[in-house]
Structure 1
């Protein structure tokens, strides 16, 4: 994803300076890269890469907080690796959901000798960053990256604890055709790795199910005016409008749809299924359909207690992926404990063998690093809240074995 910044270089320099200052205060590194805290504990650094500024900052801080909560609990528990007590430290970096910035963040993590990375938030940032982590043998666990390409690169260090966009696109298309009886569908995407890939998978699945894509339009992940493409779509008289992109554009988009009299149902995926979307779209959001690449919160085995802890710690509601970044961090630390080491070469094989019961459910990886038996859940926005769609008395969900 590309963003226009007044001074990208200045922002990167300031971020690096602040990060280095924080590390100087927390731990001292010796020539080998090992570090000790002021208490004498060995410091194990875990990188957390998210957009902490810009239109997706609410997602980024939510994900960052999930990592921090898991690390706080691990430190309170007290972990010993290779006979030495360790203190985990979260190194948070702002990748701005931008591919170029993400590679800079990745290199900073390499230079900072992090033991592993949780992130990045977006597919567009994670995929280019993953090459740098692979080259330097640093494990990364993605908690929100849904592009199928992420785990199709042949890297041994990439893992994902959530379903992918191919699975989301198929589930959404099936629901659109079978349940909503939509035959003529318009598709818009934001030209990002995530948005375009999701829209492509959805469109393919629609056509495979006998539907027709009557209009295909494009925007960007920084646009706010969609009148021209929506007017073009209105002329095609679609039964449904699908958007591959994030809530920051989906909110204004659906408002503008209603403004020009386009009353067609609106559908998105996990980028739209957020607490922020109804705030951005207001009453015009009502009735929107969306998915999540995972189980409904109500179906997560550990969500209730996690939600209580999260709110008590951060004084805010969960946006989307905090339960997943929390689980990803716990999975990484559990692999280190089994290996008795935070050395990636020693604990990465243990990551591949993960069999973990997390807040979000059972976590196991296939040979590509994808989660086994990923789940897609469908929702509709009703009276300002996302409600799980019911079918036959059970949650409308698609189980997708990897």
Structure 2
């Protein structure tokens, strides 16, 4: 009898120890298939590194040790798939979501997360619509299109001294939205006459001969493209074939390590100017460089664009949970709204809408097939 009681007591202790561990699921949603898969995988990889780092720290929240688990889902850059993925993550009761990549998937998915009370932090989506729906669950760790478009317009006119500007977008929520904001910025500085052509394509196009031929006749100094690198690469090749000697300016969708592979020798030196919606300098540069090296060692790949932002997004969620002493979304959401976190991508804090406060952006170009940092700027 004594032995039986001892066994029962030991079992109770083991059960108590097991129950003292909380499993926290973090979801990621991004394209893991299709033309944007390399960018989507970059998000997953960045989030996975954060999950591994959190588990290595053996964090305790509310008196319980936390085991962090990543649920990575493929939204295929498709709004319908995006909402299906969002519902799957909501049904799995994830504590938070890092995603999506594309504005066109982020906005419809955000409605599902909001209804479930699950915080969503996008490491990439820039459309202003996302954080203007009134959802207290929607956040982002990148600048929005208003800032990016205005910054690129100012840079094109004042730094590149462009007087004739053509604009192309891929008709996605991201591409069209960014192009519209860029056009507003150009008109505000140089007037409507500075825009000599406005053309459209789609995010799966491979032939741009017709629109580029029309643009060539307008002799632009700058061609602005709203879209992703999978289209920008072939577009640069056809620009070269047609003899268009204009700089290509765009946002973070093309500002990847893969663009040189997609564009080949059409990339040239200082022919492409792009901006990434984040910015670091000084001591933070060392942290970013260390992350980049760790990423390369872990995945045998270079960081494309969004991995550091996904990493920071996971860490921000974890920080809010620690501050609130709870892994329950309803309890840590108020802490998330007020969080201040020094991340790899810069200092992170959110305004009343969930947008990044004091958002910085980094201008890049390409030289000899390598992405080269030009300067860090802040939106005004």
- TM-score by length of structure 1 reads 0.86
Contact 1:185 1:240 in 2 (8 A): yes
Q: 1:198-237 counterparts in 2 under 5 A?
A: 198-211=178-191, 212-237=194-219
1:58 to 1:296, Cα distance in 2 relative to 1, 3 A: farther
1:316 equivalent in alignment to 2:301: yes
Q: Secondary structure at the match of 1:214?
A: strand
Using the alignment, how far apart are the partners of 1:86 and 1:174 within structure 2? 47
Q: Secondary structure at the match of 1:105?
A: helix
- Residue 308 (structure 1) shift: 2.5
Using the alignment, how far apart are the partners of 2:17 and 2:52 within structure 1? 15
Using the alignment, how far apart are the partners of 2:293 and 2:246 within structure 1? 38
1:37 to 1:225, Cα distance in 2 relative to 1, 3 A: farther
- Residue 297 (structure 1) shift: 7.9
Match of 1:334 among 295, 307, 319: 319
Name 1:90's counterpart in structure 2: 70
Using the alignment, how far apart are the partners of 1:246 and 1:70 within structure 2? 26
Instruction: Identify unmatched segments of 5+ residues in structure 1.
Output: 1-35, 390-394
CA deviation map 1:201-232 (0-9, x unaligned): 11111111115111111000011111111111
Q: Secondary structure at the match of 1:209?
A: helix
Name 2:112's counterpart in structure 1: 132
Name 2:123's counterpart in structure 1: 143
Using the alignment, how far apart are the partners of 1:232 and 1:219 within structure 2? 13
Using the alignment, how far apart are the partners of 2:17 and 2:37 within structure 1? 30
CA deviation map 1:90-128 (0-9, x unaligned): 000000111111000000011111111011111111111
Q: Secondary structure at the match of 1:367?
A: coil
1:239 equivalent in alignment to 2:224: no
Contact 2:148 2:379 in 1 (8 A): no
Which portions of structure 1, spanning 4 or more consecutive aligned residues, are displaced by more than 4 angstroms?
36-40, 296-299
CA deviation map 1:216-273 (0-9, x unaligned): 1100001111111111111222221110000000000010011112122221111111
- Residue 285 (structure 1) shift: 0.9
Match of 1:41 among 6, 18, 21: 21
CA deviation map 1:251-307 (0-9, x unaligned): 000100111121222211111111111111111111211111111588645212212
- Residue 37 (structure 1) shift: 12
C-alpha root-mean-square deviation of aligned residues, in Å? Answer: 1.8
Name 1:289's counterpart in structure 2: 273
Q: 1:14-33 counterparts in 2 under 5 A?
A: none
Name 1:248's counterpart in structure 2: 230
Using the alignment, how far apart are the partners of 2:281 and 2:175 within structure 1? 24
Contact 2:151 2:379 in 1 (8 A): no
CA deviation map 1:170-225 (0-9, x unaligned): 11111111122211111000000100000001111111111511111100001111
* The 10-residue stretch of structure 1 (350-359 or 311-320) with the greater mean CA deviation from structure 2: 311-320
Contact 2:279 2:377 in 1 (8 A): no
Using the alignment, how far apart are the partners of 1:84 and 1:387 within structure 2? 45
Contact 1:46 1:117 in 2 (8 A): yes
- Residue 352 (structure 1) shift: 0.7
1:267 equivalent in alignment to 2:246: no
Name 1:187's counterpart in structure 2: 167
Q: 1:340-351 counterparts in 2 under 5 A?
A: 340-351=325-336
1:279 equivalent in alignment to 2:239: no
**Larger CA Rg, structure 1 vs 2:** 2
Using the alignment, how far apart are the partners of 1:37 and 1:158 within structure 2? 35
* The 10-residue stretch of structure 1 (144-153 or 193-202) with the greater mean CA deviation from structure 2: 144-153
Contact 2:229 2:255 in 1 (8 A): yes
* The 10-residue stretch of structure 1 (40-49 or 121-130) with the greater mean CA deviation from structure 2: 40-49
Instruction: Identify unmatched segments of 5+ residues in structure 2.
Output: 1-15
Q: Work out the number of aligned pairs and report it.
A: 360
